[in-house]
Structures are given as C-alpha cells and as structure tokens.
Chain A
C-alpha cells in the first residue's frame, strides 16, 4: 500500500526542528509552495528529494516514510473532530491505534481522502464557474460528446437508414471522434499544467500570483524604493499579466520607500506586530502597513502573512495564500471575511479573529481597511479598495476584534443559519 502520510511526518519533523517551510524548501532546492503541497500529502515524494529532506531534518528517510504512531493518532484525532453526528471515544485513541493499527490506518487514510476530495471539489467548482478557458474547453468536449451520442444512437437504431444519411452520419461520427480526442487531450494538458503551482497559466492574475509566489512575495530589488521594469520583462507570458504586475511592483517600491526594511525590522522587534503603531511610527496610512507586512521576508516578520486585496465590487485583485487561508481566487468568497466587511466602513481599521470552518479549522488574526483610490477631478465619487493582512493568531488578546466563523465558499461551508449564505452547501447534501 502506498504510504500517504510522509508529508505529514515531514511537517511534524520540520516543526520539531523549528524550521520554517521556506527555510527547509531553500535547503533542499524546491519552492515553499511545493513543500507545502508535499506536507499536506498532495504530492508524492521519494528518491533524492526524500533523502535530502531527511538529511535536512537530521532523520533517517525511513522515519519519514514509515512514520511513527503519533502521526496516525493525530490523523485519527482530526477524523474524530470532523465527524458529524458521531462522537468518537477520544480517550481510547491510543489503545485503538495500538490494538488495531491496520484499521486505524484505513480510517486515517479514508479521512485524508475525503479532505483531498473536498479540496478538489472546491478548486474545480471555483474554476469551472469562473475560468473562461476551462469553461470553453468543457463546452467543446461536452458538445462533441453530445453530437457523437446523438449520431451514434441514430446509426444504432434498428431498420434501414437511407444510404445518404448513413454516410453523412458516419462521416460526422469520425470527425467528432477526432475532435473529441484532440479536445480531451488539450483539456487534460491544461489541467495537468494547472496542477503545478509554479506553472499556473490561467488568468493574468494567476500568472501574477505565481510570479510573486516563486519569489516568496519578497523582492530585494525593490527594497531600495525604486521601481525598475527589468523584473517585468522576464517570467511573465501575457501582456495583461505584465501590466498587472507593474502596478503591484510600483506599489511595492512605494511602500518600501515609506517603510524601509531596516527600520521596519527594528520596529517589529520593539513593538511586535501592531499595524496601528507601525502606521504612527512611519507616518503612513494603515493600507500601506498591511501591504508592506505581507511582502516581508520570513526572518523579518515572525508570523507567515497572507494578503488579500479587493476592489469595491468584491473582486479579488491580489491574493497571497498562507497555509489554511483559502479565499477563492475567482469570487464566491465568504462576505464575512474582514477584507469585505471593511468596505462597509471605509477608512475604519477592522480587526477580527477568524475561525475557518474547513477541515483544517485554522484560526487567523485579520487586519483590514478600505481606502479610497486617487481621483482626478472634483465631484467624483471615491472608488475604494480594501486590503486584509492574515496572520496566525498572536499572543496579544487585548486587541479588540470581532470573532468570526466563516468558510471558503457557501458551497462547501458547513455553517448553518448564516445570514451571508447565498446557496446551499453540498456538505449538507451528504457529500
């Protein structure tokens, strides 16, 4: 049986070693996002990479592949927590795993499979709805399949068919079979490419995020506060993506100029992560602080920081993921995220503690603010954007902030009786 928990063990060992994902990834020569996929058991691992990771974590590769009971127990605990309408005997977990390791392994594996399928549903549902390329490809495949089905059914009918019609339908069938083969191959190739986080080729915004992701959302070239176009000339395929990244990088350089890295490092060491204090110290607005914090290297900001920027229609225009933070890229997000609620009260700093009602049950501290875009003429209505910084919860419990429970999108959110619900959840329909 293929072992499916190697990634979890790598994560466990890395955390024991006190290494950050990015540090381990750098040591073994892969991207942090790819390591993240491995750690969540979404990529197989073996061979040289496994040996390298084991060496970096100072353990034998077999410890990672064969695992220890603790990993199994953690997975069972997760399965018990996720069970709906069924309470498991948590106190007897150790005994269960010890007496029936095979059954315990099966249960843990089934649970991981469910988690993985739910993630797939989330991703595909989001993309099918909003990715024009995918929607077009699916339409092509299904239309061709419809033509084949109809034509084949006519040819299969009993009785004689007029020779002219018969020849025409045979010809059509042949054409459609060829088309279906081609369009299916193209679709599979597209989906395969999209599997790799380093090679997303969908919408321009995805290209921009892949560009930033590859650089760990930190660009030393811009830390001097000067924007140069050289960066944009390499690594982006589409003109639309190049245009978008220019805006992002110009803003980055401007923010870096207002909050230089050296002084910011000192301020964070002195005051910790306190966006309002930072805004006062650097005499900048809160939006600048939140954007700036999301583009810092890990050795400067002690907590991994995610970022979401949206316009006043709620469309996400920049997204930086961190583990557990899942905001749909193409809309349909939960309106309870502070990045959206900040739009209700422009210029008012919003702080919230968010519990994500997914399988991960991740918790975050969110800081957000909506700020107006410059207008060129008097009398124009202001157009707002909203920015949200997402970090794991800190120790400071004194900061006031709403407690919010939310899900990735209505379709896969288990929360009942929610004022923000737009459509029923498939989880309630027995997925």
Chain B
C-alpha cells in the first residue's frame, strides 16, 4: 500500500522540491498552501504523515497543529514542522502543540528525508 504525505507549505518552490524528493522515494505527495482550512484538508486526506510550515496564510501552522491534535484519531499522526524561526521558545511552543519533529529553514534535503523516514518508521512500529 502506498504511503501518503500531505505537505502544507505556501512557498511553491519548496513544495516542488520536497514533492520531487518524496515522490522519488515512493511517497504519494499531496499539497496544500493555506492555513485556514488545513485541518479539514488533513482530516479529509488521512495522510500517513504531515509536513507543516509554521507561517501560513490564513492560520499559523502552530494553530493548525493544536486544532489537529484535538481530534482523538489525529493525536498520533506524525507531523514534521518547518519554520524559519528556530528559537527555543518556538520549539517549546511546537512541542506543547504536539509536534513530532521540528526543523528550521533552510534545511537540507537529507535532513528532510531522514526525518520523514524516521517518523514513518516510528509510527509504523507503534
């Protein structure tokens, strides 16, 4: 069965690069570029993993994550958060909101791929 990742990122060229990398690894990649209805999109898409940008139009990634975790069946969904702000308080805020892993921009392709593989493997084991 194919693995599905939902990439929520408003920067089209980041989306394009990540989509290319993950597709090559055998993932089905769906994309979404807006925070406002991101939770509904996740609930409808039922992905195996979400990559979520923090600064999104409509609603911040942090709020999206908080709302997502309120859904009982979304508490364990792996969420990799991408942000341009790597300060410790942002990291703490993301952890409180229920992030699975936090990554600061500019990241390397290897870092993204490793994080996606690790998170998926952990989720599959549990």
The chain A residues found within 8 Å of chain B, CB to CB, are 128-129, 135-136, 138-139, 141-151, 153-154, 165, 168-169, 172, 175-176, 423
Digit string of B16-41 for contact with A (CB within 8 Å is 1, else 0)?
Answer: 11101100000000000000000000
**Can you report 11 A-B residue pairs in the complex whose CB atoms are below 8 A from each other?**
A128-B85, A129-B89, A135-B85, A145-B105, A146-B105, A150-B17, A153-B108, A154-B20, A169-B16, A169-B17, A172-B16
Contacting pair B17 A143 (CB below 8 A): no
CB < 8 Å: which of B16, B20, B55, B87 contacts A139?
B55
CB < 8 Å: which of A146, A168, A423 contacts B107?
A146
In order of increasing CB-CB distance, the 7 nearest A-B pairs are A150-B17, A142-B84, A146-B106, A147-B13, A146-B105, A145-B106, A139-B84
**Quick check: is B11 within 8 A (CB to CB) of the other chain?**
yes
**Contacts A146-B105, A146-B107, A154-B109; is A139 near B17 (CB within 8 Å)?**
no
Contacting pair A150 B21 (CB below 8 A): yes
Closest A residue to B15 by CB, please name it.
Answer: A147
Give the Cβ gap from A160 to chain B, nearest Cβ, in Å. 13
**Contacts A143-B11, A146-B11, A146-B107; is A151 near B17 (CB within 8 Å)?**
yes
Contacting pair A176 B13 (CB below 8 A): yes
Residues of B with C-beta under 8 A to A128: 85, 87
Residues of B with C-beta under 8 A to A136: 55
Contacting pair A142 B21 (CB below 8 A): no
Give the Cβ gap from B85 to chain A, nearest Cβ, in Å. 7
Contacting pair B89 A149 (CB below 8 A): no
Closest B residue to A157 by CB, please name it.
Answer: B109
Number of B interface residues at 8 Å Cβ cutoff, please give it.
22
**Quick check: is B88 within 8 A (CB to CB) of the other chain?**
yes
Residues of A with C-beta under 8 A to B84: 138-139, 141-143, 146
Q: How far is the CA of A146 from the CA of B106 in the complex (A)?
A: 4
Residues of chain B in range 2-17 having any CB-CB distance to chain A below 8 Å: 11, 13-14, 16-17
Residues of A with C-beta under 8 A to B104: 142
Residues of B with C-beta under 8 A to A142: 84, 104-106
Residues of B with C-beta under 8 A to A153: 108-109
Q: Choose among A129, A141, A143, A176 the residue with the greatest number of B CB atoms under 10 Å from its CB.
A: A143
Apart from A146-B82, A175-B13, list 18 A-B contacts with CB within 8 A. A136-B55, A142-B84, A142-B106, A143-B11, A144-B11, A146-B11, A146-B105, A146-B106, A146-B107, A147-B11, A147-B14, A149-B106, A149-B108, A150-B108, A153-B108, A154-B109, A165-B20, A423-B89
Closest B residue to A153 by CB, please name it.
Answer: B109
**Contacts A143-B11, A149-B107; is A154 near B85 (CB within 8 Å)?**
no
Contacting pair A151 B88 (CB below 8 A): no
Residues of A with C-beta under 8 A to B85: 128, 135, 138-139
